[in-house]
A and B are shown apart, each in its own frame.
Chain A
């Protein structure tokens, strides 16, 4: 069945540094969704990517969908303390989530 792998599992960055998390699927995806979960909170939808090679931006966040539609990335430029949390990707079915990347920001 479909599997979605996320790396890294944890990332510590200094405030102001960039951060990237990667999501890889064993099968071609029709779309991919990204979520953010703050500590003690619940996942909040960030974005959905559908097209091969698609790139979408939300302020300091850049989302990419691979040409083969088997991988995706989330890049945060100049991290801020408000970016702390766990970032999850979810595959085509919406119900298969990666294990998430937990981002810690060092002041």
Chain B
């Protein structure tokens, strides 16, 4: 069974540009979570999608947005990129959106903003 996949692996942008990151969950999983992990730091929750709807949002500005498609894959968009947006962006999926369902993480997208 294929795990969570993310693309691209690396992304280099300049300040003010927009970045689009993609995530494909494990087959059968309906929930997708996005996290930001700045270098050497913990995981900061960004967004949670389940069944195509945004269920929860972390403490990030509106320029961080996303969506979930009918096939449950997801996209994270970051507008007006700032230097401090440089981080590893991790996507995770779970079977459903309950608190007991295990999250499985993808390998991440390393975003560098110059």
Contact = CB atoms under 8 A, between A and B. Distances in A.
A99 B42 contact: yes
A63 interface: no
B45 A88 contact: no
A50 B56 contact: no
Contact of A99 (B35, B41, B100): B41
Interface string A93-104: 111111110000
A50 B42 contact: no
Interface stretch (A12-20, A37-45, A52-60, A68-76): A37-45
- Determine the interface band of chain A, counting residues with CB < 8 A from chain B: 20 to 34
Contacts of B33: 94-95
A48 interface: yes
- Determine the interface band of chain B, counting residues with CB < 8 A from chain A: 20 to 34
B102 interface: yes
Main secondary structure, interface of A, reads loop
A8 to B, nearest CB: 14
A43 B42 contact: no
Interface in B55-114: 56, 58, 90, 92, 94, 99-108
Nearest to A92: B99
Contacts of B43: 43, 88, 97
A80 interface: no
Interface of A: 30-31, 33, 35, 41-45, 48, 50, 88, 90, 92-100
B85 to A, nearest CB: 19
A98 B105 contact: no
Contacts of A30: 99
B1 to A, nearest CB: 15
Given A43-B43, A100-B42, A93 B108 contact: no
B45 A96 contact: yes
Contacts of B35: 97
B42 A94 contact: no
Contacts of A100: 42
A107 to B, nearest CB: 23
Contact of A42 (B41, B56, B101, B108): B108
